Amino acid sequence: MKVVIMGCGRVGGKLAGLLDIEGHNVTILDIDEYSFRRLPPEFGGTALVGNGTDEDALKKAGIEKADAFIALTQGDNRNIMACQIAKHIFNVPRVLCRTYDPLRQELFGSLGLETFSPTTIFAQMLKERLLKAKPKGEKKAK
Amino acid sequence: MYIIVVGGGQVGYYLAKALLDEGHELLVLEKDAARTAFICSDLGSVCVRGDGCEMTTLAEAGAGRADMFIAVTGEDEDNLVSCQAAKHKFNVPRTVARINNPKNETIFKKMGIDVTISSTNIIMESIEEEMPTHPLTHLLDIQEQGLEIVEIKIPPHSPAIGKTVKELPLPAGNTLSLIIRSQQKPFVPDKDTILEAEDQIIAITTPESEEALGTTLRGS
Contacts of A113 (CB under 8 A, 6+ apart): A80, A83, A84, A87, A95, A97
Interatomic CA distance for residues A115 and B156, integer angstroms: 59
pTM of the model: 0.77
ipTM: 0.87
Instruction: Check if A89 contacts B (Cβ < 8 Å).
Output: yes
Q: Which of A6, A59, A74, A84 to probe by mutation at the B interface, max B CB count within 10 Å? A: A84
Across the interface, whether the CB atoms of A84 and B85 are under 8 A apart is answered: no
Tell me the average pLDDT across A11-38. Answer: 97
Dihedral sign from CA coordinates of A39, A44, A48, A51: negative
Do B83 and B71 contact (CB within 8 A), yes or no?
yes
Nearest C-alpha of chain A: how many angstroms from B170? 31
Instruction: Check if A141 contacts B (Cβ < 8 Å).
Output: no
Interatomic CA distance for residues A61 and A53, integer angstroms: 12
Nearest C-alpha of chain B: how many angstroms from A104? 7
pLDDT at B137: 83
Tell me the average pLDDT across A37-48. Answer: 96
Interatomic CA distance for residues B79 and B58, integer angstroms: 13
Tell me the average pLDDT across B23-33. Answer: 96
**Looking at A89-93, B119-123, B164-168, B187-191, which range is the least confident one?**
B119-123
pLDDT at B156: 87
Task: Flag whether pLDDT at A140 surpasses 60.
Answer: no
Pairing of strands A114-116, A94-98: parallel
Do B152 and B219 contact (CB within 8 A), yes or no?
no
Nearest C-alpha of chain B: how many angstroms from A103? 7
Instruction: Check if A26 contacts B (Cβ < 8 Å).
Output: no
User: What are the chain B neighbours of A81 within 8 Å (beta carbons)?
Assistant: 76-77, 80-81, 107
Helices within chain B (DSSP H only): 10-21, 33-43, 55-60, 76-88, 105-110, 119-130, 210-218
Question: Which residues does residue A27 pair with via DSSP β-bridges, in sequence order?
Answer: A4, A46
